[in-house]
Chains A and B, each alone.
Chain A
Amino acid sequence: MGTLNTLTLTDAIRKLHNNEITLDALYADVNSAVSSKNSALNIYLAQDKYAEKSAEKGTLSLLRGVPIAVKDNFLTVGLPTTASSKVLDGFMPPYESTVTSKLKKAGGVIFGKTNMDAWAHGSSTETSDYGPTKNPRNPEHLPGGSSGGSAAAVAADMCIAAIGSETAGSIRQPSAWCGVVGLKPTYGRVSRAGVVAMGSSLDCPGPITKTVEDAAILLNVIAGQDKYDATTSPVQVPDFTKMLKTGVKGVRVGIAYIDHEKLVGTPAAKAVEQAAEVLQSLGAIVDRVPLSQTLKDNTILTPDYAIGVYTVVQRGEVSSNLARYDGIRYGHDRTHFGDEAKRRIMLGTFTLSKGYADKYYVKAQQVRSLYIQNFRQLFSRYDVLISPTSPGYALKLGASKDNPMFGELEDMLEEPSSITGLPGINVPCGHDKKTNLYLGLNIVSAQWNEGLVLRAGYAFEQNTYWNSWLKKDK
């Protein structure tokens, strides 16, 4: 048995292109990884039996037929799509999401659908109606979520690359916990058409990959305006691989959030300080951005309020978006909703109700615009902001139980950039040898600045030893 399943996307494409490896051998290794690990880790909910057959058709295209794992909230023709909810158990989509259709056109193969928190409601993948996914780095721990299955599929080398979606943290947080790369693009950069909606003003599909270069390749494929999604932007899509390797010399980096009471003195804060030193040694201009409780120039607004803003906005949109699942046209009736979905529907319904909307939804949108103002000012002074992706290492299985605000607290460091639609990437920045668990660095930039986020992530990744795939090469 070979180890071609451990290839990065960049390497797999290159080796397939140069005929150094065959698709047969690649698929054999990926399949064998899946058969040996899937039952224990519970990553794939569905797999395409004919994946390799489809791969042969893509050999001359950009992605060369490589197997890609896709989160189960992307509609895929021929593969059931459930968003990990029993409401959609057995649902066969009549159409294809824009993202998966772009992947296919570029020669990618939708190898399988990955487990997630039901409806993407959570940060643990424990709320899935199909059982939790386990962290491949340490199966006693959670993979994070909601794109936990996709991050785990990458970490376990059960695919070459993966696609996830983020509302606030759902790409970056599981990527941090699984020790992989996860990119959340600018809201509107990637089409939401054909993605089961969670928080429509926040949802954002993005790549979860082994390396930053892999993420740039996939972003090239999936980005762009879509006539089926009115919120996608006509802003031009650059070639994200082009500027990737130009370094961070002169890039202005702000260190954010590590003076928050929840982070002071933690391994996550220390890892970010070390990361800042690495970037500085590479020529970046590094500075600390003080935390502030009010809107003030050159300070960063505490993420504490973002938890409230995010919770109110997202629950409101959830209560609306789940209204269509009445079981009349497709799927099963409402009795199949799990507890977390029911909680969110009730809270969202309440916050949008007459007499309460002003107090909650409208108020939340007002605070949301304060964050937009804050970032606008900060990005006139800094090119990127760095912070821990998650306050700590992956928590143990069961940690999310009886904690309805689990995700909101775990993702508090992503929420300000999510509610403002900014791009951000997680790259591994620390590793605990005892537990084999990872810490993640969150690099955020201004709207449409994924190029810079990727560049900084690449520079960091190439000059540190945290990336488990690059380490092997050295």
Chain B
Amino acid sequence: MAEPTQKHTRRTPIIGMEVHVELKTASKMFCGCANDPFHAPAPNTYTCPVCLGMPGGLPVANKKAVEWTIKLGLALGCKVALFSKFDRKHYFYPDLAKGYQISQYDQPLCENGVVHTELGDVRIHRVHLEEDTGKLQHTTIDGKRVSLIDFNRSGVPLVEIVTEPDIHSAEHAKAYAKQIHEIVRTLEISDADMEKGSMRLEANISLADDPNVLPNYKVEVKNINSFRFLEHAITFEIARQDALLNDKKIPAQETRGWNEEKRTTIVQRSKENAEDYRYFPDPDLPPMTFDAKYVEKLRAELPMLPEEKIKKLEDLGIKPEFAQLLSSSEFPLSTLETLFTAAKGKGFEPNQVASVIINRKLDIRQVKTEHVLEILANTYTKDEVDPKELESAVSAVLEEQPKAVADYKAGKTQVIGFLIGMVSKKLGKKVSPKLLSSILVRMFSSKY
């Protein structure tokens, strides 16, 4: 299928997202099995009667997972339910051991939050806790095509974060997903590794003629395992739906999967018929009640979140674009502050420190302060040069490099960088590139 080329539409994209995050608790959601599906020595090793759906196996909720979900909800500005429960969601699939998934239906742990992105706010509809399924593997053994099931992932705690349809572009969706990724990583509740699938993205996409009226269809796109693919998938889907709407067709209500190789979404399942999961409260799990004090205790335990960190950095005089990049948990605020103070002592501004960290991709959790100061010195220290000496050096270089001069005249102005380097080399000193550049330009226009 050819990729639709039209990138822009007069219609408003209406996008809601569902993000699934596997929590990295020590044990699974409802049993004592190790929660480490990606490092299991062999398939079906981290299993027990509960996560295999054996007769008589009963779930017992993982308290840590509940606590982490509440913390995530708080980090997303949600209201935490003081009464919540687990429900059974029924459907048949070979990787679903019990014939139902333990999830949350009408009383999720957290509701009504908001995530701020540079492209606009995204309201959080709900955050709920459920269990992951096993994994199917379709393969060939002894020439026979077989389907195998690995239950190591069965029962791993899974949080689902659902937004309101507040996202209006592929970039906006990407910014939102990155923000969620960052928050989850800051809370240290998940590896959120999209390649492995411990963070999974889904987007519900439709196009509205009137942005105030929700369209009467939506297309769910799954199998998106990077931020880049998210952007690609949404861009593709907007163009595809726009073309259909231009032809006066309403896109089918369906689930599609993103295929990065073919750069296209492919129909996975029609959603024309409303699914019936026959939800009912899981009688094996008593409802959960929390008091406000407990919720406040969890709130107090929250680490500094990216948004707050950005504000702190900006208060320290860091440019917004740097602050945004440094908000990642890779750059602990305390380490940044130590570096800023040390650099100030040597006459460097915090923004210079920020620039060096970002451009040199420094891992400040590893690199020593002295090393950072050294890099700063090499990058920003300038020697004093006599203007006459400077001019003669420039003249000499221009004489020696006729080809570069010719190139410059032909419009290849980027050779100026090369010439600056040659002058510095001739002088054996570090000279401000700005100054050199202005001298060069002046000499070009007068002499040559």
Contact = CB atoms under 8 A, between A and B. Distances in A.
Nearest to A82: B55
A196 interface: yes
B312 to A, nearest CB: 42
Given A228-B58, A329-B53, A354 B276 contact: yes
A229 B58 contact: yes
Interface stretch (A53-61, A88-96, A382-390, A411-419): A88-96
Contact of B58 (A88, A230, A316, A352): A230
Interface string B274-299: 10101110011110000000000000
A293 to B, nearest CB: 28
Interface in A338-380: 349, 352-354, 357, 361
B189 interface: no
B61 A320 contact: no
A193 B99 contact: no
A100 to B, nearest CB: 11
B411 to A, nearest CB: 69
B211 to A, nearest CB: 31
Interface residues on B, range: 20 to 34
A114 interface: no
A373 B242 CA distance: 58
Contacts of A319: 278
Contact of B286 (A88, A230, A317): A230
Contacts of B97: 324, 329
Nearest to B88: A320
A81 B55 contact: yes
B88 A353 contact: no
B174 interface: no
Interface string B79-115: 0000000001010101001111000000000000000
Given A194-B56, A320-B100, A329-B97, A353 B278 contact: yes
A440 to B, nearest CB: 28
Interface residues of A, number: 42
B52 interface: yes
A349 B276 CA distance: 10
Given A200-B284, A349-B278, A353-B276, A323 B55 contact: no
A195 B61 CA distance: 19
A199 B284 CA distance: 10
Nearest to A87: B55
A328 interface: yes
A75 B285 contact: no
A231 interface: yes
A228 B33 CA distance: 13
Contact of B284 (A93, A227, A231): A231
B60 A317 contact: no
A197 interface: yes
Nearest to A233: B286
A349 B279 CA distance: 11
Given A192-B58, A352-B280, 10 more contacts: A74-B56, A97-B56, A196-B56, A200-B283, A230-B60, A317-B283, A320-B90, A323-B90, A323-B100, A324-B55
Interface of A: 74-75, 81, 83, 88, 91, 93-95, 97, 192-197, 199-201, 227-231, 316-317, 319-320, 322-326, 328-330, 349, 352-354, 357, 361
Interface of B: 49, 52-61, 88, 90, 92, 94, 97-100, 149, 274, 276, 278-280, 283-286
9 contacts: A83-B55, A197-B55, A231-B286, A320-B88, A323-B98, A324-B97, A328-B149, A352-B280, A354-B274
